[in-house]
Structures are given as structure tokens and as C-alpha cells.
């Protein structure tokens, strides 16, 4: 039942990473953050990366974006345009002193697109994301979900061949997150651009991805790859299918050890047996497929740069 990646858009970039590694710091405090990592993302593919906190997911995305250099290896981006990628961050990354319209127009202004055309394109994306009436407002007047829509509109307004998304919905509540996942699904299936999407949520990865890549604890390497068996175009309804729950549980089993290692807790000898018992009795909330949809049952969060928060991997 596995699906081929969708037909590429007229212009969709490709990514190829070969032997990519990144270390930070010097001497005793040197950290091996990432790799070696081998990865290819096809034109028009929606590729999701999940992995434990600190395994180097964001670092890899930043390397692809050209914001960070790899210590070893290389990333090749094959694209038709000079600036093929746009990035969406967890903390929105929008400017509070600019109106919504000016924020969405930002990348177009950098590319010196004439103001009239830039405004039209920005308004078009605002309309597509349900923000047409908020063009002249400032971000402070918007909810978190609306601010993240502005951030997505800003990235899409430049018509990037590659969209890089770093936990874009992690700071949102679970219901809003579901809505934005479904909106993103619709948008990306309409034009099939290449997307590299980092998330802590297995549910999110399975709903959105043509392919889900699982990373190990730091230094992050790829340890598994799955193709969600859901035809395109798909909707959020796939969350209810038995295949969805089965793949979510399987991926979580793969990830659990890595998450425990990353959080400094070694798996106790009888942990696996206990987890099986818990699943059978329904006591293990971490393996509950509805875990992410109930805000009261979300995993622990820690502060992150810019006042936003990050999550542990969650099913
Ligand atoms: N600029 C930096 N200087 C020093 N260490 C860094 C830097 N950027 C990242 N690191 C370290 O590299 C490792 C990987 O960080 P990264 O943010 O890529 O992980 P991540 O998988 O995205 O984590 P999370 O899921 O928690 O956001 C971490 O140990 C982090 O502390």
C-alpha cells in the first residue's frame, strides 16, 4: 500500500546529504551534535524527521538552509532558482513592529519584487491561510495560531522550491495544531513543493509525510524510515485508521530507547515487558495514539530560545 512521492511541482528542489556531521565547541566541551547522516529528499516529497530532543534535527535543517556549515560531509540542494528554500520556525520568527502584510511581504521585499506585485502575492497567501482581514494588524493582536499562519504565509509567499519547517506547530495547543496540520496538508498537496519537516510528534509526521525518518539520540543518525500507507491527496481522516495507529505504535517502540537515552534514563531491564503490560492495561499514556490530541496529556515541555517551548518526542 506504500505510496510513491507525489509528482513534483514545476519547480521543486531536491536535497542530498552525504556524510554530514556537525560538532560544536572546542576541547572538553566539544559536542558531537549530528551524524554522519546520509539522506536524499526527492523533488516534491514531504519528508518528516522525528527524533529525541537534542539529536541534531534543527542543526540539520539549518545546514540545509545554509545557516550552519557542516563539520564534515556535504549537502547538495538541486534547484532551479538561486534562493530555493524558505524556513518556518517554532517561534514564528515574525517581526512585532511590522504589520501582518509587511511580515508576509518580507521575503519578497528582500528579493526586490515591485511593491504592487509583492502586496498582491502577500494578500493572496493571507487569504489562503484565512487571514485576509488581518493584513493591517500587528502580530501582538493575533493568537499564536494566527501568528504561525503569518509565518507560513511569509515562507510560501516567495514560492520556495523547498520549505524547511522546524517544529512549526510545537508551541500551539493540540486542537490548533491539528487544524494547522490539516491546512498544511491541503496547501502542500495543492502544489507539491519539497518539504523537510522536523517534529517531535509521530502523529504529525504520519499525517503529513510521504516518508518519516527516525533519528537516534545525539549524535543524530538515521535509524529507521517508514512510508505512511495513505494515498494522496489525503486528509486528517487518516488519523482514525488502524494502519495509522499501528505505524504510530511501531515507530514509538523504535524511538522509546533513543528518547530515554537522550533524557539520561537508561531503559530498566524489565522496562520492555512493563511497557507491554501497560499497553494491554491502557496504563501507558505514551503509547496512546490519542496522546497528542488531548492537551492535558501532552509530554513535558522545557523552555526554548525566544521564550517558546520544546517537547519530547510523543506518539
Ligand atoms: N550553536 C550551538 N552551539 C553549541 N551547541 C549547539 C549549538 N546548536 C546546537 N547545539 C547542540 O547540538 C545538539 C543538537 O541541537 P539541535 O538543536 O540541533 O537538536 P534538536 O534535535 O533540534 O533538539 P530539539 O528537538 O530539542 O529542538 C544539542 O546538544 C545542542 O545543545
Closest residue to atom 25 of ligand 1, CA basis: 53
User: Mean pLDDT throughout 116-135?
Assistant: 93
Question: Which of 14-28, 77-91, 210-224 shows the lowest per-residue confidence on average (mean pLDDT)?
Answer: 77-91
Grid cell locating 138: 500587528
Stronger pLDDT, 205 or 287, i.e. the higher one: 205
Check residue 53 and give its pLDDT. 92
Which residues are bridge partners to 20 per DSSP?
A: 37
Report the atom number in ligand 1 closest to the C-alpha of 215: 21
Annotated domain spans of the chain: 13-84+162-169+191-289+304-315, 91-159
* Res. 31: pLDDT tops 80: yes
Residue 257 pLDDT class (50, 70, 90 cuts): confident
Check residue 314 and give its pLDDT. 63
What integer best gives the mean pLDDT of the chain?
82
CATH class of domain segment(s) 13-84+162-169+191-289+304-315: alpha beta
Closest residue to atom 31 of ligand 1, CA basis: 54
Distance 154 CA to ligand 1 centre (A): 25
Question: Which of 20-24, 47-51, 101-105, 187-191 shows the lowest per-residue confidence on average (mean pLDDT)?
Answer: 187-191
- 57 pocket-lining for ligand 1 (C-beta < 6 Å): yes
List CB contacts of 270: < 8 A, sequence separation 6 or more.
none
Residue 262 pLDDT class (50, 70, 90 cuts): confident
Check residue 92 and give its pLDDT. 75
Closest residue to atom 17 of ligand 1, CA basis: 58
Check residue 315 and give its pLDDT. 64
Q: Could you list the beta-strand ranges (E) of the chain.
A: 14-24, 31-41, 46-50, 72-78, 85-88, 162-166, 194-199, 211-215, 222-226, 301-303, 309-311
CB 91 within 8 A of CB 308: yes
CB 174 within 8 A of CB 206: no
Distance between start and end Cα atoms, the chain? 22
Check residue 1 and give its pLDDT. 40
Question: Left, alpha or beta for 233 (phi > 0: left; psi -120 to 50: alpha)?
Answer: beta
Check residue 307 and give its pLDDT. 32
Residue of 21, 29, 55, 60 to mutate, ligand 1, most atoms within 8 A of C-beta: 55
How far is the C-alpha of 224 from the C-alpha of 92, rounded, in Å?
Answer: 29
Check residue 12 and give its pLDDT. 86
Stronger pLDDT, 275 or 21, i.e. the higher one: 21
Predicted complex ipTM? 0.97
* Res. 106: pLDDT tops 90: yes
| DSSP letter assigned to residue 266 | P
Stronger pLDDT, 268 or 76, i.e. the higher one: 76
- 310 pocket-lining for ligand 1 (C-beta < 6 Å): yes
Amino acid at each position: 500500500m506504500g505510496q510513491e512521492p507525489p509528482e513534483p511541482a514545476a519547480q521543486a528542489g531536491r536535497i542530498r546529504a552525504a556524510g554530514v556531521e556537525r560538532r560544536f565547541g572546542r576541547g572538553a566541551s566539544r559536542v558531537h551534535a549530528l551524524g554522519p547522516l546520509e539522506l536524499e529528499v526527492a523533488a516534491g516529497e514531504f519528508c518528516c524527521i522525528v527524533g529525541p530532543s537534542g539529536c541534531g534535527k534543527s542543526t540539520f535543517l539549518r545546514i540545509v538552509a545554509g545557516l550552519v556549515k557542516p563539520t564534515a560531509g556535504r549537502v547538495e540542494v538541486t534547484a532551479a532558482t538561486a534562493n530555493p528554500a524558505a524556513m518556518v520556525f517554532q517561534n514564528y520568527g515574525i517581526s512585532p513592529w511590522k504589520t501582518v502584510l509587511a511580515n508576509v511581504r518580507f521575503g519578497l521585499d528582500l528579493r526586490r519584487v515591485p511593491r504592487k506585485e509583492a502586496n498582491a502575492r502577500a494578500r493572496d497567501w493571507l487569504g489562503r491561510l484565512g487571514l485576509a482581514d488581518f493584513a493591517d494588524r500587528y502580530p501582538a493582536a493575533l493568537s499564536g495560531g494566527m501568528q504561525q499562519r503569518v509565518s507560513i504565509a511569509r515562507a510560501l509567499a516567495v514560492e520556495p522550491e523547498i520549505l524547511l519547517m522546524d517544529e512549526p506547530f510545537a508551541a500551539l495547543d493540540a486542537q490548533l495544531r491539528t487544524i494547522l496540520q490539516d491546512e498544511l496538508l491541503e496547501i502542500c498537496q495543492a502544489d507539491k513543493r519539497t518539504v523537510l519537516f522536523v517534529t517531535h510528534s509521530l502523529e504529525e509526521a504520519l499525517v503529513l509525510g510521504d516518508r518519516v525518518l527516525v533519528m537516534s539520540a545525539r549524535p543524530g543518525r538515521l535509524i529507521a524510515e517508514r512510508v505512511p500507507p495513505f494515498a494522496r491527496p489525503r486528509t486528517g481522516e487518516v488519523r482514525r485508521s488502524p494502519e495509522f495507529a499501528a505505524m504510530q505504535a511501531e515507530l514509538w517502540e523504535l524511538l522509546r530507547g533513543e528518547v530515554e537515552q537522550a533524557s539520561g534514563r537508561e531503559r530498566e531491564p524489565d522496562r520492555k515487558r512493563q511497557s507491554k503490560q501497560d499497553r494491554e492495561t491502557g496504563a501507558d499514556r505514551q503509547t496512546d495514539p490519542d496522546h497528542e490530541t488531548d492537551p492535558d496529556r501532552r509530554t513535558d515541555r522545557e523552555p526554548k530560545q525566544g521564550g517558546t517551548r520544546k517537547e519530547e518526542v510523543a506518539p
